[in-house]
Structure 1
Amino acid sequence: MARTTITPSAMRDLPALAPGVAKARIFDSRLRGFIAEQRQSGTTFYLRYKDARGRNREIKLGRLGDLTVEQARKRAEQLKASVSMGADPLAERDKKRAVPLLAEFAAQRFLPHVQEHLRSAHNIDACLRLRILPFLGRKALDEINQDDVATLRRRLIDEGLSASSINRHLGTVRRMFNLAQKWQLFEGRNPAAAPGMVREVHRDKYLTADQTQALMRALDLERDKGAAAALALLTVTGARRSEIMLATWDNVDLDRGMLTVPRAKNGRPRYIPLSPFAVAILERQATRQLPDNPHVFPSWRRCGRAIESVRAAWGRAKKAGGLPADLRVHDLRHSFASALANAGTPLNEIGTVLGHSQLSTTTRYAHHSPQRLIATATAASNAWNLLPAPTAPSDQAAG
């Protein structure tokens, strides 16, 4: 082990390595732990130090040529000072290197997590695969900043995506960083904590009572009885399409009037109450049950599978019932909620029936029950004895 002052001249005058010798180390006599390591390929500088647990640690400073002797010494002095203050440069470097790329995090941790907990995992996968990862995937988590998220948002808008689709992408990025922070994969702020969600204008398309009756008459005459029954059940339960089309008889309790969805959109079980009308639909559908097929609405083409689509039957029923051509199957869910609101059903109960995880999702139906809301607002005035002023008698009445 050679010890001398590491200087530019000393590095220039290093003797050639003896045959068979892989390396030689020179330890600086002025700065303890500062090392120059000579190899056939060149000279590299290191700093040796002890961490907080008293273990010897060694960090590479750089190669001679990439930095000068003076630069290497200055860097060694800076690191040595930080060590005296309790830092561990090697641990900090390893921690930095351990921060995964966004694409790595998505594949190894994030997608497996959402696939386990969310029914909508396929939508999240599409957001990542088509737009988020092509733009941000090659950056480490701690390299992505608010400007990157803002640029992604602008790209989504310029692409012409709907407000709901843009928000789904931005919400995915926000959720990714929230989980990465929770799992301590990087330090710092969530760059998508406030991603600039786009204001969504919900489409208000609801069936009137007359339109609903016309739809039911058209479904009674529909030739595809299975699809017609599924559409009728969607109408009178407000359930999501997948919750009805993928239902199995094991999850139907006609005696209790309940359909269980083992894994709803939020990943948890939910229970759909069945009205007598819904029970009657299911009782008729039970007569069409196929052997060795557990589904309430079985496929006639694929053995043991659920019905593939109700699109054709839906198009025929809309035409036969004289309904708007742009009416969607999902509008049946909105129509059901609207009918409950018009009947004076409290919003929290509507949310429970629809399986909303947040009351804010249900409040869009509040304006369908204005008289009930007016009565609620009047309750405060009554409590304060603030009654309307009596109407002044007319002149004719006074005469």
Structure 2
Amino acid sequence: MKTIVLKNAVFEGLPVICLDFPYDFALKELVKTYPECQWSRKHKAWWVPYREDQLNELIQFFRGKVWLDYSSLRKVKVQDKFAELPVLEPAIQSEVNKLRDWMRNRRYADSTVKTYTEAMALFFRFMDNKDPEDVTNNDLETFNRDFIIRRKYSVSYQSQVINALKLYFGTLAQKKLDPEIIKRPKKPMLLPNVLSKEEVKRILDAHDNIKHKAMLSLIYACGLRRSELLGLKFEDVDARRGLLIIRQSKGRKDRVVPLSEKMVLLLRQYYREDKPEIFLFEGKVKGRKYSDRSLENVLKQALAKSGIKKPVTLHWLRHSYATHLLENGTDLRYIQELLGHKSSRTTEIYTHVSTHSLRQIKSPFDDL
């Protein structure tokens, strides 16, 4: 069995773990599928960020595929981003753990659990491990003013902190506090980025690789989020009825979107060539879903080949799908269902970027 040697290193001032092995194409392709693995041109090495649980995750990922030699790997003390704040005391850490367990038992998304518990821990570190029973509304205002605003954290982060504290004090601590006293700032209204149909076609036609073409095409053809595309399994494609089933997406909701005959033919051609085993789109290792980073690279390559200079992201294709539907006369309520939006307000943003009605407006400048 092939061997990968794990070594400590420091890149750009940050501790990392390097994956060292003699050049081997198959091994290189396997390493690329590890979610956090990156290639450093400067150091000519494959690496992942250092953190305490990284070794365990590497062992789980590569088990049965390669030997991992971590005999020379040493534990590193990672610099605390908020080193000036006191460390959490055991009693407060126990409260943070209670919130984490409570959220997990109720099937909150892992990312939400992580964000909320980190926000709660940060609040109590700022408050110098103050007993939750003694926390007041004034403490919440002080934290907002002297920490969040002074450090110029984003509007979305401020809202996340409010949500975390509201959940903890209102549900677990059962303490009558009002986290809403921290006034939620107005979110800036940013219009979604939309491509023209001609630009979309150039991007989708850029790849000769059938898998790459099918992935980008399906995102646009069905208005998918990146995670939705990568989570698809072959049985989610109902070719006979012309439907695509998206399971347990954002908000843990299932939804169904129409699948055109043109897209079905492309998927059939792709399946005959690639023959995925579990997921509709898999990496070099059969049975493992295609990685986020690899999908981003597929888009970058398409942009380079098509000559489009805009900073296009995968989500732009989803925005373009919704806008083009609206311009074709599709009712906004249907678009809301197709995109899986909980609120119609989220979908209404596309009315601001649709050019169908705007082009009918005559400028008074033309009458001069």
- TM range, smaller chain: 0.5 to 0.7
Residue 196 of structure 1 and its aligned partner are, at CA, apart by 1.5
Instruction: Rate the CA distance shift 1:204–1:267 in 2: closer, same or farther, 3 A.
Output: closer
- Once the two structures are TM-superposed, the CA of residue 364 in structure 1 deviates from its matched residue by 1.0
**After the TM superposition, which residues 196-207 of structure 1 pair with which residues of structure 2 at under 5 Å, given as runs?**
196-207=184-195
State yes or no: 1:117 paired with 2:107: yes
Partner deviation per Cα, 1:74-121 (whole Å, 9 max, x = no partner): xxxxxxxxxxxxxxxxxxxxxxxxxx97754542245543575344x3
Instruction: Indicate which of 345, 351, 376 corresponds to 2:336.
Output: 351
Q: Does 1:163 align with 2:155?
A: yes
- Note if 1:327 corresponds to 2:309: no
For 2:164 and 2:213, the matched residues in 1 are separated by 36
Q: Does 1:262 align with 2:211?
A: no
Aligned pair partner of 1:217 in 205, 219, 223:
205
Structure 1 residue 187, shift from structure 2 partner:
4.0
> Hey, what does 1:32 align to over in structure 2?
none
Choose which of 146, 151, 167 in structure 1 pairs with 2:137: 146
The aligned amino acid for 1:108 is K
Q: Which amino acid aligns with 2:166?
A: R
Change (3 A) 1:101 1:267: farther
Structure 1 residues 92-131: aligned runs within 5 Å:
103-113=93-103, 116-119=106-109, 121-129=110-118, 131=119
CA distance in 2, matches of 1:102, 1:195: 26
TM-score (norm 1): 0.58
> Conserved in 2, the CA contact under 8 Å of 1:344 and 1:369?
no
Query: How far apart, CA to CA, are the structure 2 residues paired with 1:249 and 1:208?
Result: 30
Determine if contact 1:260/1:269 at 8 Å carries over to the other structure. Answer: yes
- Amino acid across the alignment from 2:318: R
In the alignment, does 2:306 pair up with 1:306? Answer: no
What SS does the aligned partner of 1:272 have? strand
Counterpart in the other structure of 2:51: none
Distance 1:157 1:278 in 2: 48
Matched AA of 2:114: D
- Checking the alignment, whether the CA contact within 8 Å between 1:249 and 1:296 is kept in structure 2 is yes
2-structure distance, mates of 1:269, 1:105: 34
Question: Aligned letter for 2:283?
Answer: S
Deviation at 1:148, TM superposition (A): 3.4
RMSD after superposition: 3.2
Query: Does structure 1 retain, via aligned residues, the 8 Å contact 2:214–2:266?
Result: yes
For residue 124 of structure 2, what is the amino acid of its counterpart? L
Shift of residue 261, structure 1, vs aligned partner? 2.6
CA contact (8 A) 2:140 2:179 kept: yes
C-alpha change, 1:323 and 1:109, in structure 2 (3 Å) is same
Does the 8 Å contact 2:191/2:352 carry over to 1? no
- The secondary structure found in structure 1 opposite 2:179 is coil
Alignment deviations for residues 241-290 of structure 1 (CA, whole Å, 9 cap, x no partner)? 01111211122211122222331110232223323333233222322444
Contact 1:110 1:176 in 2 (8 A): no
User: What SS does structure 1 have at the residue aligned with 2:205?
Assistant: helix
Unaligned runs of 5+ in 2: 1-89, 361-368
Q: Could you tell me whether the CA contact under 8 Å between 2:322 and 2:350 is conserved in 1?
A: yes
The separation in 2 between residues aligned to 1:249 and 1:267, in whole angstroms, is 20
Query: If the length of structure 2 is used for normalisation, what is the TM-score?
Result: 0.62
CA contact (8 A) 1:118 1:267 kept: no
Distance 2:321 2:105 in 1: 30
Conserved 8 A contact 2:194-2:323:
yes
Are the counterparts in 2 of residues 229 and 281 from structure 1 also a CA contact under 8 Å?
Answer: yes
Structure 1 portions without partners, runs of 5+: 1-99, 376-399
How many residues align structurally? Answer: 265
In structure 1, how many angstroms separate the alpha carbons of the residues matched to 2:105 and 2:318? Answer: 25
Q: Which amino acid aligns with 1:295?
A: F
Identity %: 23
Question: Which deviates more, 248-257 or 168-177?
Answer: 168-177
* Cα distance in structure 2, aligned partners of 1:141 and 1:364: 41
Q: Distance in 2 between matches of 1:135 and 1:109?
A: 14
* Conserved 8 A contact 1:236-1:277: no
Cα deviation for residue 296 of structure 1 reads 0.2
For CA contacts below 8 A with separation 6 or more, give which structure has more relative contact order: 2
2:279 maps to 1:295: yes
Q: Is the 8 A contact 2:223 2:321 kept in 1?
A: yes
Could you say if the C-alpha distance between residues 178 and 358 of structure 1 is closer, same or farther in structure 2, counting changes exceeding 3 Å? farther
Deviation of 1:306 after TM superposition, in Å, equals 0.3
1:323, CA displacement in angstroms?
2.0
Question: Aligned with 1:107: secondary structure?
Answer: helix
Structure showing greater radius of gyration is: 1
CA distance in 1, matches of 2:265, 2:343: 31
Q: Deviations over 1:45-100 (max 9, x none)?
A: xxxxxxxxxxxxxxxxxxxxxxxxxxxxxxxxxxxxxxxxxxxxxxxxxxxxxxx9
Contact kept? 1:207, 1:332, Cα under 8 Å: yes
Q: CA–CA distance in 2 between the matches of 1:229 and 1:115?
A: 37
CA contact (8 A) 2:169 2:175 kept: no
Aligned partners of 1:351 and 1:359 also within 8 Å: yes
